[in-house]
Amino acid sequence: MTDQGQTSKATPDKVVIQKYANRRLYNKATSTYITLDDLAAMVRQGVDFIVYDAKTGEDITRKVLTQIIFEEESRGPQNLLPIQFLRQLIRFYGDQMQAFLPSYLELSLDGFIRQQERLRSQFASMNPPGIGAYEEQIRQNLALFDRAMKMFSPFAFRAEEPAAAPAAPAPAPEPSKDEIAELRRQMLAMQEQIAALAKK
């Protein structure tokens, strides 16, 4: 595939990065070779980019971002992803609720991002600095996220639904359209709760 074909798949506001077989990364916007550290810096600066395999034209942005996370986690000792979180994440692969987890994680992270500046100012204003208020905020967030996560349990979800006409029980390996719609509604409600909490 030609460079023109690769560029056409990216939106105008995205920087196009090509990855070659020798693992070298080429920034087409600056016409320079870059490293994973450079890409990590671009992410922190809010630069939106898309990475293509230079040979096949495949979009490998997700793979490269995952590789960046792997490199960051390997450096330690300050790791971002707890071991228990990684174990739980692995368990969701192949699970029937796998399709819902990305949206949940996005909502959770969005709520944390909304609160981070307020948390930083609270932490900086402590005299002497401490983590009591920060830990309390974390406990509140965890309680909120725990309630939201219970929505992903089919049994808990059905228990919260209003009584319906009696029907013969039947196994449902995948959520129905009505269940999906209700789940989305509850996730939006959770997002509103997070936003309200961030304004306090």
The strand order across the sheet containing 15-19 reads 32-34, 25-27, 15-19, 49-53
As a whole number of angstroms, the distance between CA 170 and CA 161 comes to 16
Phi, psi of 82 (to 5 degrees): -65, 150
Q: How many CA atoms does the CB half-sphere of 186 hold within 13 Å?
A: 19
Per-residue pLDDT of the chain (200 residues; tens, 9 = 90+): 444 444 445 456 899 999 998 889 999 999 999 999 999 999 999 999 999 999 999 999 999 999 999 999 988 777 888 899 899 989 999 988 888 888 888 888 888 777 777 777 766 666 555 555 556 666 666 666 666 555 555 444 444 444 445 455 555 455 556 666 666 666 666 666 655 555 55
